[in-house]
Chains A and B, each alone.
Chain A
Amino acid sequence: MTYALMVQGAPYSQQASHSALRFAEALPAQGHRVATVFFYHDGIYNAASMMTPPRDEPHLLERWRALHQTQQCELLVCVASAVRRGLLDEGEARRHGHSHPTLEAPFELTGLGQLMQAALEHDRLITFAP
């Protein structure tokens, strides 16, 4: 089966992101795969490109990137949630007069329509909330 995940919890503050990652990473061994991860609410901070945790803590950003690599999943970030919280890709940064992007590929800024589409297209949608 293909799975869509909705992640609503901020990284490091709550369990939601860790649980979502563990769930997604465990799928291939069961014959499934994650096709879309949609970050919403404070979950958008999982895509902060300058995330720099201490070395002895899990690096969630790298884990998401690895997930993208191994399962070819899309990592979608709600643009409305992200921009108001300061996560901007290169285009949005330029448009709002900032010198640096704070979000970069493989994460993509996208709308809620993509969440709805993921829910309809894939076999399961699982919400990971704080």
Chain B
Amino acid sequence: MESKSILVVVRHPPHGSSWVREGLETALVGAALGQPPNLLFSGDGILALLAHQQRGALGQKGSAAMLEGLSLYDIEPLWYDRHSLEARGLDASQLIPGCQQASTADMIARHDVVMSF
């Protein structure tokens, strides 16, 4: 299989829909195929990175445990969009460990394939 750089962008908040979980599953499958994508949290997706989260309202598995396990699959760091963080009045110290800031536009420009969730 041809090698391309892949970016998975999570744009939705962690609770109330299955977007975050489905984005993470896609990233994990990429890693399982030997193509670990970069994972970027942008817009409301940034809320998935807040520390100390419990299960969501849909009775589905929470995303916090999945996020913690991503480094085992070489999906690290967890990139977050700096402007999205600031726009929501948040601070990087409130995020789970292993996050690193980025710019969404730069990240999209630097990858061959962008998958958006």
Q: List residues of A whose CB falls within 8 A of some B CB.
A: 6, 8, 40-41, 80-81, 111-113, 115-117, 119-121, 125, 127, 129
A121 to B4, CA, bound (A): 9
Q: Known contacts A81-B22, A112-B26; is A121 also within 8 Å of B1 by CB?
A: yes
CB closest chain-B residue, reference A125: B113
Residue B64 is within 8 A (CB to CB) of chain A in the complex: no
Residue B66 is within 8 A (CB to CB) of chain A in the complex: no
Query: Are A111 and B1 within 8 A (Cβ)?
Result: no
Residue B68 is within 8 A (CB to CB) of chain A in the complex: no
Q: How large is the interface on B (under 10, 10 to 19, 20 to 34, 35 or more residues)?
A: 20 to 34
A111 to B2, CA, bound (A): 19
Q: Known contacts A6-B115, A81-B22, A127-B116; is A121 also within 8 Å of B29 by CB?
A: no
Given contacts A116-B30, A117-B33, 10 further A-B contacts (CB under 8 A): A6-B115, A8-B117, A113-B29, A113-B33, A116-B29, A117-B1, A120-B1, A120-B3, A121-B1, A127-B116
A119 to B6, CA, bound (A): 9
Interface residues of B in 1-40 (CB under 8 A from A): 1-4, 6, 18-19, 22, 25-26, 29-30, 32-33, 35
Which residues on the B side are within 8 Å of A40 (C-beta)?
A: 22
